[in-house]
Amino acid sequence: MFNNFPLAQSLLDWYASNGREMPWRVRGGAHSDPYAVWISEIMLQQTTVRTVEAYFIRWMNRFPTIQSLAAADIHDVLLAWQGLGYYTRAKKVHECAKVVVDQYGGEFPADRETLLTLPGIGPYTASSICCFAFNLPETVVDGNVIRVIARLHGLTHAVTKDEIYELARQITPAHAGADYASAIMDLGALVCTAGRPACLMCPWSHVCRAYHMGNATQIPLINKPKRAVRQGIVYLIRNQRGAYFIRIRPGKGLLSGLYEFPWIYDEESPLYPVKPDASAEQISHVFTHFNLTLRFQYVEAEEAPFPDGIFVLPSDFKQYPFSTLMRKVIKRLPR
Ligand code: SF4
């Protein structure tokens, strides 16, 4: 058990002169716009700060208030999200904006339990909103925090998020919720990095067990579930004008609501009797729980194979929100 107050204070002092600047971040207290905090936190899930910066600025220009987002058409929301991946997040963002506007008068609730009842807001996002939008002393645990806390305690076994949360909670100070959450994440991103931690620059080196044991780079050990591998076929159905058939992906699955070239998993019924062989052109994509490879099948057709789609020229694709998976396909189409 560490003496918590000096530990938190030394990190806050380090943050005051070393913390990162970000378009959604303020120092010394809560952000004045919980909507901006929420959008940035959702975008930052599975995406780097550098990538998010440009998207965040564009988004806030396009939808400057939660009311403007709630009133937007889902097509425009998906178009603005295009390229960030994980499109379920964009759909949930839209859904959540409507709930906050309709049921909370456009104001985010300032407590974790109520936040957790909103669409798309899980424990991490709820804690982040509490910290950054309301300056509450909640504990946030992302990949950076896992690394810092595991090393600080010298944990050489496979750690769990719950275990790290409890240890992180014990040193979270009762004041400066926003700055402290930013500080511990920045320590992980700037100093306690995965490959080469700069321990001599670290405000916690005097108490860090991994530093004193000399095994920081071997920590943390995380048991990652093995990803399944799936295969499928994407149908590039084009007419004589060079337009391709696209449709909105039906159903409620991962990519539903986005435009696609029709595609199937190998275990589903094929759309055409002749299948592409293993030598066909293909793309691969990594989803959260599985890796997918799609083989290309070109089909010449003048009639739309499904009633719910249209033929579109490649020069007009930018008007339609495609998933990252489909954008990879588009990049490989013949020019
Ligand atoms: S002393 Fe080194 S290993 Fe320990 S928290 Fe600081 S940067 Fe990480």
Ligand 1 centroid distance, CA of 190 (Å): 11
Q: Is the distance from the beta carbon of residue 205 to the nearest atom of ligand 1 less than 6 Å?
A: yes
Measured from the CA of 205, which atom of ligand 1 is nearest?
Answer: 1
- What angle, rounded to 10 degrees, do the helices at 161-171 and 4-18 form? 90
Q: Residue 197: CB within 6 Å of ligand 1?
A: yes
Output the CA torsion sign for 162, 131, 33, 31.
Answer: negative
Residue to mutate (ligand 1; options 2, 152, 193; most atoms within 8 A of CB) = 152
**Ligand 1 within 6 A of CB of 219:** no
pLDDT at 272: 87
Listed in sequence order, the residues at least 6 apart from 170 whose beta carbon sits closer than 8 Å to its beta carbon are: 1, 2, 4
Nearest atom in ligand 1 to 201's CA = 7
Q: Are 106 and 66 in contact (CB under 8 A)?
A: yes
Angle between helix 87-104 and 74-81 (nearest 10): 130
The whole-number pLDDT of residue 203 equals 97
Please tell me the distance from the alpha carbon of residue 291 to that of residue 13, in angstroms, as a whole number: 43
Residue type, 150: A
Q: What is the pLDDT of residue 252?
A: 73
Expressed in angstroms and rounded, the spacing between residue 33 Cα and the centre of ligand 1 is 33
Note the pLDDT of residue 116.
Answer: 97
**Which numbered atom of ligand 1 lies nearest the CA of 202?**
6
Catalytic positions: 41
Structure letter (DSSP) for residue 307: T
**In sequence order, what are the beta bridge partners of 115?**
none
What is residue 268's three-state secondary structure? coil
Domain spanning 4-218, CATH class:
mainly alpha
Alpha carbon of 11 to ligand 1 centroid (Å): 12
Instruction: Examine domains 4-218 and 228-331 and report if their fold is the same.
Output: no
Number of other residues whose CB lies within 10 A of the CB of residue 78: 21
Closest C-alpha residue for ligand 1 atom 8: 192
- Domain 228-331 falls under CATH 2.40.50.180: no
- Predicted TM-score (pTM) of the model is 0.81
* Residue whose CA is at the smallest distance from ligand 1 atom 2: 199
Those residues of the chain that have pLDDT short of 50 are none
- Which of helix, strand or coil describes residue 41? helix
Supply the Cα-derived Rg of the chain in whole angstroms: 23
Q: Break the chain into its structural domains and give their ranges.
A: 4-218, 228-331
Q: In sequence order, which residues have a C-beta less than 8 Å from that of residue 50 and are 6 or more positions away?
A: none
